[in-house]
Amino acid sequence: MLPKVTLQGHILVPEIDMENVKRELVVHANLTNEELGCLKFEVTADANIANRFNVYEEFVNQAAFDSHQLRVKISTWGKVTKNVTRHYQISNGA
C-alpha cells in the first residue's frame, strides 16, 4: 500500500485579495473534498493573525495529491490565490 500524503501549514493572504480568497475558499474546499483520494481538507482562518489561514490536507497517496495539485493550478482558486504566500510541510507516511 502506498503511503498517504499529508500537507500542513498556512497561507498568508494579501489584504487586497482577502474577499476573493474567502469567497472562493468555499468552492475550493467543496471541490477538494469531492476529489477521489481526498481523506481530509481543512482551511481555517487563524484566530490571532487576520490574513493567515491554517491548512491541513490528507490524501490517500501521492497520485491523489498530485491530481489535486494539477486541478488547483487550473482552477479559479489557483487564480485568486496567485499572490498568496504558502508555508507548507508535506510528508508521506502511513
Whether residue 84 has pLDDT greater than 90: yes
Res 6 pLDDT > 80 = yes
> pLDDT-based confidence at 93, cuts 50/70/90?
confident
Q: What is the CATH number of the domain that holds 57?
A: 3.30.70.100
Residue 94 predicted with pLDDT over 70: no
Please count the structural domains in the chain: 1
- DSSP letters, 38-84, are EEEEEEEE-SS-TTEEEEEEEESSHHHHHHHHHHHHHSHHHHHTTT-
What is the per-residue pLDDT across 13-69, written as a single tens digit (0 to 9) for each?
999 999 999 999 999 999 999 999 999 999 999 999 999 999 999 999 999 999 999
Confidence at residue 1, expressed as pLDDT on a 0 to 100 scale: 65
Q: What is the pLDDT of residue 2?
A: 76
| pLDDT score of 11 more than 80 | yes
| Domain region containing 81 | 4-93
88 vs 7: CA distance, rounded Å: 6
Q: In degrees rounded to 5, what are phi and psi of residue 22?
A: -60, -45
Which residue, 91, 73, 69, 70, is CA-closest to 81? Answer: 73
The number of angstroms, rounded, from the C-alpha of 84 to the middle of its chain's C-alpha atoms is: 11
